[in-house]
Amino acid sequence: MTLDDVKLEVALGSRVLALTGLATGIRSSMGHVSLRDPNDPGRFVVKGRGYPIDTLNRMRPENMVVCDLDGRLLEGPPGVVQCNEVMIHACVFKARPDVHSVVHVHPPYSVMMTVLGLPIVPLVLEGIRLVRKPLPVYPRTALITSVEHGQDMVKSLGKESAVHLLGHGATTVGKTMEDAVMNMWQMENQAMMNCYARSMMGGAHAQIPDNLIEEFLQWKPLAEPHFQEAVAKVGVVNTGGSMWSDLMDRAAKELAAG
């Protein structure tokens, strides 16, 4: 994967944040996704700041900036600097070698839950593993623009895949961009369901019992005899065709359309 490939992937990932609704409307210029350079783990690619139109759905590979793990700008287009909260990405990549992609957006349902002091509880299947236990909360609302605040957020994140930023947004991480984006999307969907549940039932509403979550997580694909029989017939089963593939394909088509 060349650096140009990484820039393309991050531009498409930025558009995916818009396609998923995580960065649209009043939040269409809020947020970013980054990807560590697989050929140089000491640098990463992310959107910058200083475009004529600065919204996630407009991002192109040539708009991307390359930064080091201190948040310094290594390269980017003329007139463009790092995004305001570049330290979110730099500090996570520095502290977590296992992380290759970071997402930061301002998802409204998740943010509202933190302001109300409420944890997200498991209410739907998607993202059930992520919210099985309460996610950590970084207790500040101000933008993360300094190393100190970036490191504090990383302390709150710990070894988890997501951290709330109280009254501000959230940060999710992953081994891949797909992991980081899907974690954010699933978390926000769970938060939305939590808000609906509270509206319908008040604070004493039910949640998916933990033993049922455990049973679900024990499931192994293609383990049952009828699938094993099919696998024996067809050989290697095709993988891919995921929701992520669809999103990236739609983003690529939008990019090609100009």
Residues lying near Zn ion in the complex (CB under 5 A) are found at: 169
- Shortest spacing between CB 13 and Zn ion, in angstroms: 17
Beta carbon nearer to Zn ion, 13 or 169:
169
Count of C-beta atoms within a 10 Å radius of residue 192: 19
Q: Is residue 190 packed enough to be buried (19+ CB in 10 Å), middle (13-18) or exposed (0-12)?
A: buried
Beta carbon nearer to Zn ion, 66 or 86:
86
Tracing tokens 């330290």 back to the chain, one arrives at 87
- Shortest spacing between CB 38 and Zn ion, in angstroms: 26
Give the residue from 208, 161, 156 showing the smallest Cα distance to 186: 161
- Shortest spacing between CB 118 and Zn ion, in angstroms: 20
- Shortest spacing between CB 40 and Zn ion, in angstroms: 26
Q: Given phi > 0 = left and psi -120 to 50 = alpha, else beta, which region is 151?
A: alpha
Tracing tokens 């940060």 back to the chain, one arrives at 171
> Strand (E) positions, 127-198?
137-138, 162-165, 169-174
- Shortest spacing between CB 127 and Zn ion, in angstroms: 21
Beta carbon nearer to Zn ion, 150 or 169:
169
Give the residue from 240, 243, 127 showing the smallest Cα distance to 190: 127
Beta carbon nearer to Zn ion, 115 or 243:
115
- Shortest spacing between CB 47 and Zn ion, in angstroms: 13
Beta carbon nearer to Zn ion, 153 or 251:
153
**Cβ proximity of 65 and 80 under 8 Å:** yes
**Cβ proximity of 49 and 56 under 8 Å:** no
Beta carbon nearer to Zn ion, 127 or 169:
169
Q: Which amino acid is at 30?
A: M
Coil, strand or helix at 81: strand
Residue nearest Zn ion, Cβ-based:
169
Beta carbon nearer to Zn ion, 8 or 59:
59
Residue-by-residue DSSP string for 54-94: --GGG--GGG-EEEETT--EEE-STT-EE-TTHHHHHHHHH
Tracing tokens 């996610």 back to the chain, one arrives at 135
- Shortest spacing between CB 189 and Zn ion, in angstroms: 20
Coil, strand or helix at 159: coil
